[in-house]
Structure 1
């Protein structure tokens, strides 16, 4: 199992609009392709205007296939520009759990 940690820095003041778009439209599309959502968060203390979401995959091939299917979905292609306009920076990490991790 691997985990993908995606961190987006949004334009100041756009967190509510971003979360509304994802809640009403985007997350259903993502879940249909990406599978296991571990968590979806926003920052309140520290670095502000950040969105962090974590997805679980069997391995890198599983992730690649699922993300390709998402990218090819016309509904996702229509949705993506709505949130891209709110995002300033994006960071992506692939995490491997330790043998003693509760998520292992």
Structure 2
């Protein structure tokens, strides 16, 4: 069964590659670990330069943590529809913008360290199963500010580990979304391309933390999701979730 599932995933990837690799969208998750005493100043400067940021790079979610991990981390999530070539081109333009370079240089004094990882978006059949909006969504249609949940799975090394995991995930998530708070939505599912390999991340939007808790309890009543979780737990070696708050200028709110 696992071999068959893995073949389905590979067929999906091959179909995407035939369309053209350069149009395969990627996410970049950039995280800036801030000095606690500098968070206010950093965010004031980031807010003041937010229109410039969004004119240069395709921002999706800009957030600060609420609970579940290290605090005082500014997380920037970008989606490059044209893949790595698109990212390189846009970063070249931003690197030559004097106003942007000035902001970057000024903000560095408040940053302890930073990191960046590249993720590929899960194949379309996975997004379809979860009703996910995907990276092309720019935040339209939400009724007001919510909270976002990063759910991270670290998987063992191996070429088929991620494909197998996502196949199992897709087999259960369709039933999960039928047992959710009405304002809970799956934004996207992605897996590492560059960085900590074999990491899978789900990003969910909830109306509030209470909505997240309600959705969690309701999902336990979905038999196919519970079955999928059991199989995913046999593969994953680590699981973490984190609640983050989008800042005012974030596209995803």
Which TM-score applies when normalising by structure 2? 0.39
Distance in 2 of aligned mates of 1:48 and 1:78: 26
Q: Equivalent residue of 1:44, what SS?
A: strand
Map of 2:151 onto structure 1: 6
- Greater Cα shift, 53-62 or 67-76: 67-76
Map of 1:47 onto structure 2: 196
Q: Given the alignment, which residue of 219, 226, 229 partners 1:70?
A: 219
Map of 2:172 onto structure 1: 26
Distance in 2 of aligned mates of 1:22 and 1:76: 8
The one of the two structures with greater contact order (alpha-carbon pairs below 8 A, sep at least 6) is: 1
4+ long deviations beyond 6 Å: none
The answer on whether the counterparts of 2:179 and 2:221 sit within 8 Å (CA) in structure 1 is no
Map of 2:242 onto structure 1: 93
Bigger Rg, structure 1 or 2: 2
Distance in 2 of aligned mates of 1:26 and 1:19: 10
Shift in Å at residue 11 of structure 1?
1.6
Shift in Å at residue 8 of structure 1?
0.6
1:19-74 CA-partner distances (Å, limit 9, x unpaired): 11122x12212222344111100101111010011000000111111110002323
Gaps of 5+ in 2: 1-145
Map of 1:58 onto structure 2: 207
The answer on whether the counterparts of 2:185 and 2:204 sit within 8 Å (CA) in structure 1 is yes
Distance in 2 of aligned mates of 1:38 and 1:76: 18
Q: Equivalent residue of 1:16, what SS?
A: helix
Which TM-score applies when normalising by structure 1? 0.90
How many residue pairs get aligned? The number is 103
